[in-house]
A = this chain, B = another copy of it.
Amino acid sequence: MAQDDPTQLPQVLQLHFLKAWDSPLPQPQVIHSHATSVQVLLSTAFEIPITAQLLQLLPSLKLLIAPSAGLNHVDLAACRARGVRMANSPSIFAADVADMAVGLFLDVMGKISAANRFVRDGFWVSRGDFVLDRREASIVGLGCIGLEVAKRLEAFDCKILYNSRKESDVLVICCVLTAQTRHMINKKILLALGREGVIVNVGHGAIIDEKEMVQCLVQGEIRGAGLDVFGNEPEVRKKLFGLDNVVLSPHKAALTADCFTNLTDLAMANLEAFFSNKP
């Protein structure tokens, strides 16, 4: 397994393990040359959408394994129309994504990245305001990731509000992108969060109205943000680069050795179940 480079993760597995990633041919060509025989597709990269057009190229496809929490790269209607079964298990990423969410949270609250930068620049800055204890955190998206985040934050004596409309100091966004959640975190919600408010996003960039968020951060209308996801990845709004109250991470919460192990275990179990006709 190419654990260090997730873009090289297998896109196509066959029962006899045609290793697309070992082929000298480019991946689309590998898919084309085996198109008629592919029965199972393992989708791990958002950059390769599972479209109706791709499904047409794969007439034998019966199972799509797409373990990510978000499925907005998959044309679910087309899958249903073709009778392609779905195997989806976001829980395999939950612990590591939750670790990152809390890591980003602590970093923003404790200004750890900023302090690290200051010390390296030769400043010994002792200004601190790490006031976690009295925080109330709202977890937006109470799936398996949200529950893992809650478990962690409770150990920090954070009061957890689940999908609450009550105002809180911290929003941890763990939900998936749908038509309903797109730009759900708008200017009104940002302003309600207030000057001490912090946003952590490990869900999807487009859940936040990013332009409004950047403006709130620049103007100090919210306190800070820890972001692992962005609206137009891998592009990041340049205005964020100058802000000390922001911690930026390149959508890597789930890119861990544990997640890769879990992913291959899951894929193997799904394949075994599928080809032995178990549900």
Contacts and interface: CB of A to CB of B under 8 A. Distances in A.
Interface string A5-20: 1110000000000000
A133 to B, nearest CB: 5
Contacts of A95: 132-133, 157
A104 interface: yes
Interface string A225-262: 00000000110100001000001111111011110000
Interface residues of A, number: 57
Chain A, interface SS category = helix
B117 A117 contact: yes
A9 to B, nearest CB: 12
Contact of A125 (B129, B133, B250): B250
Nearest to A123: B250
Nearest to A3: B129
A113 interface: yes
Contacts of A156: 99, 102, 152
A110 interface: yes
A132 B202 CA distance: 17
A132 B233 CA distance: 26
A107 interface: yes
B100 A131 contact: no
Interface string A114-148: 01111110011111111111100000000000000
A247 B115 CA distance: 9
Contacts of A169: none
A106 to B, nearest CB: 3
Nearest to A133: B258
A78 interface: no
A97 B67 CA distance: 37
A250 B126 CA distance: 6
A155 interface: yes
A132 B96 contact: yes
Contacts of A125: 250, 252
Contacts of A252: 115, 125-128, 130
Contact of A99 (B113, B130, B233): B130
12 contacts: A6-B126, A99-B109, A99-B130, A113-B117, A119-B236, A124-B234, A124-B250, A127-B255, A128-B253, A128-B255, A130-B256, A155-B155
Interface of A: 3-7, 95-96, 99-100, 102-104, 106-107, 109-110, 112-113, 115-120, 123-134, 151-152, 154-157, 233-234, 236, 241, 247-253, 255-258
Given A110-B249, A112-B112, 4 more contacts: A4-B129, A116-B248, A120-B248, A124-B233
